[in-house]
Structure 1
Amino acid sequence: MITAARLIAHQSVNGKYQTRMAMDKFPVLGHQMTHSIDSFITDSANSATALYTGHKSSVNALGVYADSSPNPLDDPKVQSIAELFHEVRGGGVGIVSTAFIADATPGALTAHTRNRGQYGNVVDSFLNGITNYTWPSWTGPDVLFGGGAEQFIPSSKSFQGKDYYQEFRNKGYNVIQNNTALQAAPTTERSLGIFSVSNMAKWLDRNVYKNNTQIPKTSPDGSSAAAVDQPGLKEMTLKAIDILHKRNPDKGFFLMSEAASIDKMMHTLDYDRALGELLELDDTIKATLKHLEEIGELENTLVIVTADHGHGFDVTGGVDTKFMDAQTSDRAKRNAVGTYEQSGLSQYMVANRSAPIGSDQNLVYSAGVDFPVNWDPRYTLQSGLATFPDHRESYRIHKGSVRVPAINITGFSSNDYFLNYVDAITGFVINGTLPVSADQGVHSLTDVPVFAQGPCQSAFGGVYNNVDIFYNIATCLRLQRTKAGH
């Protein structure tokens, strides 16, 4: 999910911080429309279904047309691009995400349910496919990497209480639970990599505010330890490519790799972490293209970078945070915001590569990718979503943890949210534009870009519906069936 945060890099990272992203160098740019079959605004389940199957559905639906029956698993089903590729071509399939792996975007490749919250069923579908209905054979992906250990550890949260680490081992998978093991893992074996409970740690916390990864009971093995040795999107993606390429030298592979927390941080109004996730995605794209070239597959590989929806995010000015801190009233604090000629330049700076590595001027996190050196400058950016809950805003990095803009208060309805005062103490109050039952921002109707490179790239130019991405990929992979049974 790239579009919402992508505007940060292009509209706000100016003056001393300028960078051109890897996706901007792709030869073809298109735009896709994201609405669902029965609503203007989509969620990730329905939009992933459209991208993967060529069929629009309803909010919360994965790979089905939602019906009115009480059973969320018996709705009319449609095959995904991964299932078709496996059935028709016999090629390898990889699924990589920085979210919990049963989340909507990875789950939509194999799950078929009206309710995206059927997490246990989603995990079981990765391994076993659809078992209760007539359906083409599915033997599992070559690669499944992400978070969400709570769905694999035997408990009330795992499917039928089973140990899904063991279920995967029983079918020949190499089970990996940290980055050290990931790097050492053989490329000849099908691999399950689960690296944390829930969503994986954000780039900013893994690389800058490292103490934030010291969260007890996040280890994927179910212990009380913290999941501190987590890979990033780049490490997972490159390893997935190596496994897929090694195991499928002739039949090829399909890989979906998701920078999931761009979206998740946009929802919580945590724009700095969203930017970190976006730049990690850019780093991953650069490394992927280089690696495909090294293994001789760049010219043979269609690479598409897109999003399933936008957030209505934009940058509209600059902020003098020191001036804001010195003011004592909300109205006075708002004068720290500068627009037009008063917006000035931000103080986000790239590394001085002539300075010593590790110094305040040269915090290089990845060669060739310009992550900001200072994530807490005096002059920052006025940015935000089109719709949001009540909250306080200081336009500064939240160093201690992922942002929590709105909370429920004891004594009020559980569906009643108020601004979280400690979220931005030095900021000012912004009244929300959503119902008071909302504690996060929501998706928007904006069209999202599609960047394409490789075979069939020309098919992805122009403006079209999100379902067309499926048909363009399927055509490029020659998944058409010319006659019955083929």
Structure 2
Amino acid sequence: MTTNMISAARLIAHKTVNGRYQSRLQMDQFPVLGHQMTHSIDSFITDSANSATALYSGHKSTVNALGVYRDSSPSPFDDPRFESIAEIFQRLTRGGVGIVSTAFIADATPAAFTAHTSDRGQYGPVVDSFLNGATNYTWVNWTGPDVLFGGGAEQFLPGRTSYRGQDYYKLFAGKGYNVVLNNTALSSTPNNAKTLGIFSTSNLPVWLDRNVYKRNLNRGNSPDGKKANATDVPGLKQMTLKAIDILNARHRKEGWFLMSEAASIDKQMHTLDYDRALGDLLELDDTVKNTFAKLKQLGSDKETLVLVTADHGHGFDVAGSVDTKYLNAQTTDRRKRDSIGTYQESGLSQYVIPGAPQDTSSLQFSEGAAFPANWDPRYTLFSAVGANPDHRENYQVHKDGPRTPAVNSTAKDDDYIVNYKDAVTGFLVNGTLPVDNSQGVHSLTDVPVFAQGPCQELFGGVYNNIDIFFNMAACLGLARTT
């Protein structure tokens, strides 16, 4: 029997909607829970490049490195390389590979499947590696992913931001790919062909802006280079389910491997935008729920291992609630802090789920409706990350777009100070990071690993992040003896 695999990346483990831990999140229902340690070779705090490398190659590397052991030479492309699980899987089985992300597609996590460089910022060569693989290496027989969905149109459009100025839409099409640039085209494209879907420049808009604060979609970010607004943008669920349809249609016999990344959980946590991170976390959970339904519909549920994990944590937690009405009415920072309620004063949050009972003593997620109806309640969450820049905080959703908590001072480009406009009604929170940091940073915390399907028992317990690769490889039957 063929084993398929879905790996969903990036999550925060805190379920904070409705202020209770009795919610029916899909991730709460996985039969196996493990925890992975995330440190790298040169640092006990990882970045996304070398942590993705560990997850998908079984090799710990160094900060900013993708698929290589970094050496002392100045070139980012001559370091010793090793294969990713996607390269091994395609070489040995000719099975299908899908890569899906809500980030620009050359970002670290999707790049870790095909890129081999000590510098994760080599975005143009990363895009080229998706199509052409690693050159001059006989152990690689890469023919391209069956599915490549995400943002980052600037690396595909011809010009100074693409590799050697080439038009990668045309190059992908020349190798048999259907190219789609919006959700309408994605839903109607056939399942029997390789498909490239690029839906905006840079990162895709987050769930909260696509569904609630839609005026923030006016970003001139259309993927065709015409500077229009990308408004017909698929979410993680739409991209993931279409990827499964394509992979199943093309590789039901050989099997397939799909990585689907809810990238903006991490990106919004960096900017302390916890509401947007929460929206994308719930979108991830909704995607996982619908993935199981899709696999059952296709008759593949018994032969598909589903993993949900992250590449690192942010030291995020919730310690109480905030009465935002009281906070906004005060005139001094010290009085504003009195709006925070802890222990018996924290109560429950007011993020209400549509159709759920309004009695918060028994409030749960309603079936099929996992997102709050009100993102701006009076009582919100007293939450924070462990390391942050100087900023102001009012604990309310930012309706005009993602946060910018700190900005350059007028005197020095690497000296970040409070962005007063970010939370005018809030109070000053002194940062804990060096002043050249404009955002929060990753933390050392172990991150959870949720597993369901064939080989699920391999993923219980506490282990290193490289063990996820070896367990996936074992489940896919990639071991070979000589």
What residue in structure 2 maps to residue 193 of structure 1? 197
Q: Kindly indicate whether residue 38 of structure 2 is the aligned counterpart of residue 34 of structure 1.
A: yes
Report Cα offsets for 1:366-393 as digits up to 9, x if no partner.
9613211100000011000000000000
Structure 1 counterpart SS, 2:13: helix
Asked whether the 8 Å contact 1:101–1:148 carries over to 2, the reply is: yes
Q: Conserved in 2, the CA contact under 8 Å of 1:5 and 1:266?
A: no
Listed as ranges, the matches of 1:102-251 within 5 Å are 102-216=106-220, 218-251=221-254
1:41-52 mapped onto 2 (5 Å cutoff): 41-52=45-56
Aligned to 2:474: 475
- Equivalent residue for 1:464? 463
Counterpart of 1:100, as a letter, is F
Percent of residue pairs identical: 66
* C-alpha displacement of 1:344: 1.4
One-letter identity of the residue aligned with 2:427:
F
CA distance in 2, matches of 1:62, 1:3: 17
Contact 1:321 1:336 in 2 (8 A): yes
Match of 2:431 in 1: 432
Conserved in 2, the CA contact under 8 Å of 1:2 and 1:262? no
CA deviations 1:77-134 (Å, max 9, x no partner) are: 1100000000011100000000000000000000000000000010000000011444
The structure-2 alpha-carbon separation of the partners of 1:77 and 1:155, relative to structure 1 and needing over 3 Å to count, comes to same
Q: Is the 8 A contact 2:354 2:366 kept in 1?
A: no
Structure 1 residues 47-446: aligned runs within 5 Å: 47-216=51-220, 218-352=221-355, 368-410=368-410, 412-446=411-445
Kindly provide the CA deviation profile for residues 380-421 of structure 1, in whole angstroms up to 9, marking residues without a partner as x: 1100000000000000000000110000132x2111100100
CA-atom RMSD in angstroms: 1.6
Q: How far is 1:19 from its partner?
A: 1.9
Instruction: Report the secondary structure of 1:84's partner residue.
Output: helix
CA deviation map 1:284-343 (0-9, x unaligned): 000000000010000000100000000000001110000011100101101111111111
* Residue deviations 1:12-37 (CA, integer Å, cap 9, x gap): 6326x952211111110000000001
Classify 1:191/1:367 alpha carbon distance in 2 versus 1 (closer, same or farther; 3 Å): farther
Q: CA deviation at 1:352?
A: 2.1
Output one character per residue of 1:450-477: Cα deviation in whole Å (capped at 9) or x when no partner.
Answer: 0000000000000000000000000111
Aligned pair 1:14/2:19, yes or no? yes
The 1:53–1:366 alpha-carbon spacing in structure 2 relative to 1, beyond 3 Å, is: farther
SS at match of 1:32: strand
Q: What CA distance in whole angstroms lies between the structure 2 residues aligned with 1:319 and 1:354? A: 22
Alignment match, 1:358: none
Q: Give the alignment's TM-score, normalised by structure 1.
A: 0.94
- Where in structure 2 are there 5+ consecutive unaligned residues? 1-7, 359-364
SS of the aligned residue for 2:241 comes to helix
Cα displacement (A) at 1:354: 9.9
User: The residue matched to 1:13 in structure 2 has which SS?
Assistant: helix
Tell me which moved more, 17-26 or 303-312.
Answer: 17-26
**Maintained 8 Å contact 2:11/2:309:** no
1:239-276 Cα deviation digits (max 9, x unpaired): 00000000012101000000000000000000000000
Residue in structure 2 matched with residue 362 of structure 1 by the alignment: none
Partner of 1:360: none
1:47-93 deviation digits (Å, cap 9, x = unpaired): 00000000000000000111111110111111000000000111000
Contact 2:150 2:198 in 1 (8 A): yes
Secondary structure of 2:12 counterpart? helix
Contact 2:10 2:262 in 1 (8 A): no
Cα displacement (A) at 1:4: 5.8
Structure 2 Cα separation of the partners of residues 272 and 18 of structure 1 = 20
What amino acid maps onto 2:446 in structure 1?
D
Number of matched residues? 469
Q: Give the TM-score taking structure 2 as reference length.
A: 0.95
What is the alpha-carbon distance in structure 2 between the residues aligned to residue 354 and residue 446 of structure 1?
35
Contact 1:100/1:146 (<8 A) preserved: yes
Describe the superposition over 1:337-359 as per-residue Cα deviations: whole angstroms up to 9, x where unpaired: 1111111111111112799xxxx
Q: Which amino acid aligns with 1:13?
A: N
Would the alpha carbon gap of residues 2 and 432 (structure 1) be closer, same or farther in structure 2, given more than 3 Å must change? farther
Paired letter, 1:371: F
